[in-house]
């Protein structure tokens, strides 16, 4: 399991829990599926859930980057005004 806190000036604004859902190298590409829960403080929705694919040997830093890129996409989509 990987956990990451996001703080601004010491104030917690969110935290991520990531855990591996597959056996190591479960498929031919050697990728694992990681389940992600991002918890937001004082925001709606308070929890965003998704999964990412990652090669374990690429390391935790790369996994963290994948998580935040996917989170960024989802937050942009959430904040895009809907046309009437």
Q: What is the mean pLDDT of residues 18-42?
A: 83
Sequence-distant (≥ 6) Cβ neighbours of residue 46 within 8 angstroms = 39, 40
Q: What is the pLDDT of residue 34?
A: 94
Peptide bond into 45 cis (omega under 30): yes
- Measured CA to CA, the distance from residue 35 to residue 61 in angstroms comes to 16
> Is the Cβ–Cβ distance between 3 and 36 less than 8 Å?
no
Using one digit for the tens of pLDDT, what is the confidence trace for 64-74?
Answer: 999 999 999 99
Identify the pLDDT of residue 29.
72
Given this model, what pLDDT does residue 16 score? 96
Specify the residue for token string 């694919």: 53
């Amino acid at each position: 399991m990987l956990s990451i806190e996001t703080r601004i000036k010491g104030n917690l604004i969110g935290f991520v829990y990531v855990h591996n859902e597959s056996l190591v190298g479960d498929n031919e590409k050697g990728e694992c599926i990681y389940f992600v829960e991002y918890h937001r403080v004082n925001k709606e929705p308070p929890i965003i859930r998704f999964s990412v694919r990652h090669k374990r040997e690429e390391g935790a830093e790369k996994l963290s980057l994948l998580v935040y890129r996917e989170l960024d996409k989802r937050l942009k989509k959430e904040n895009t005004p809907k046309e009437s």
